[in-house]
Amino acid sequence: MSRIGKSVINFPSGIKVENKDNLITVSNGKIELAQQVKEGFEVNIEDGQITVERPSDHKDDRALHGLYRSLINNMIEGLDKGFTKELELVGVGYRASNQGQRLDLSLGFSHNIILELPEEVSLETVSEKGKNPIIKLSSHDKQLLGMIAAKIRSFRKPEPYKGKGVRFVGEIIRRKAGKSA
């Protein structure tokens, strides 16, 4: 039984939600997000509340029930508050800078990595003397934000011996002992 799928989504009055041909559209006037829902699922919108009902108790429908509820909730929360992710570059000589939507990373390779970010994601880099560089990403789309943060992290994942690499702020890296003499 899906506990997440059964819970009701409350949304503020400034956000408009529409259901047209199993396409859920959430907008706040300036930004619009959309999510396609599988045929048979019912999304009821009434009095500032949204409920998602599944067509049957089949295993696939039970799996998608909570997923669709979470995706719709993330769209509403993103337009209401927004999402942010922070990445930290740990390592000697690791640097990050940006010019607009272009992120320039120096991660110990022979060349810099230049990544062009989409307009939906806002980018900020913070470099203070004596501290690790931090990349701050923020967006209304949680899915897109997570994909971009994972892509940046994949350029140099944290390694378990010295802990060097790109990690999320607050992420705990399990360290291993080196060679013992």
Q: Give the chain's residues under pLDDT 50.
A: none
Give yes or no for a contact between 15 and 74, defined as CB atoms under 8 angstroms apart: no
Per-residue confidence (pLDDT) for residue 5, from 0 to 100: 86
Indicate the pTM of the whole model.
Answer: 0.88
Amino acid 4: pLDDT: 87
Tens of pLDDT, residues 19-59: 998 899 999 888 999 999 999 999 999 988 999 999 999 99
- In angstroms, the first-to-last Cα distance of the chain is 54
Q: What is the pLDDT of residue 29?
A: 86
